[in-house]
Amino acid sequence: VQEKSQNVIVANLNLQAGKKAMEMSDFVAAYSFFDNGISFLRKKHWEEHYALSLELFDLAAKCALTNSDYTSLKLLSEQVIAHGRSYEDKLSVMYVSTCALAFSFRLPESIEQGLDVLANLGIELRGMGTSMEACVQETKDLLSVYTDDEILNTRRM
């Protein structure tokens, strides 16, 4: 691809293909399309094609989480956080990053990051930290009398 406008067209086509792959729950293929779309973006893409860049990076981060590719997720999220124009534009990758911490058994860090995000949105829950920790511990205590199989095979209410 030689012309700048062709790069944007190819990036957009990869974005659309990635969305279709996500609709079919093929997150590996979707990630590949988004990553390919990102590779067609030029140097000043955040300034010149902000919406396209944001959507490609955001959806690639979601796929990276689904694929358990935490390294790519971190790199993609860092780009959105560095170049996002508003806090709202960054929320999606912050959520995905918070989920990744929880999925990686780093629950205290996940909770801390979630509390930071909420505080930046004007929702302060830090004073409730002790009661949250107490609730988590109480839940653990209540569940400790059951085996994993008993918990997993419990009927829905």
CA distance 81 to 122: 19
Q: What is the pLDDT of residue 157?
A: 62
Give the pLDDT confidence score for residue 13 in this predicted structure: 98
pLDDT of residue 131: 66
Amino acid at 84: G
| pLDDT for 112 | 87
Question: What pLDDT sits at residue 132?
Answer: 66
Backbone conformation region of residue 25, classed left if phi is above 0, alpha if psi is from -120 to 50, else beta:
left
What is the dihedral sign for C-alpha 27, 81, 16, 36?
A: negative
| pLDDT tens for the chain, residues 1 to 157 | 667 779 999 999 999 999 999 999 999 999 999 999 999 999 999 999 999 999 999 999 999 999 999 999 999 999 999 999 999 999 999 999 999 999 988 888 888 888 889 888 888 777 655 566 777 788 888 888 988 888 888 887 6
Structure tokens at 40: 């067609």
Distance of CA 3 to the CA centre of its chain: 32
**Whole-prediction pTM value?**
0.78
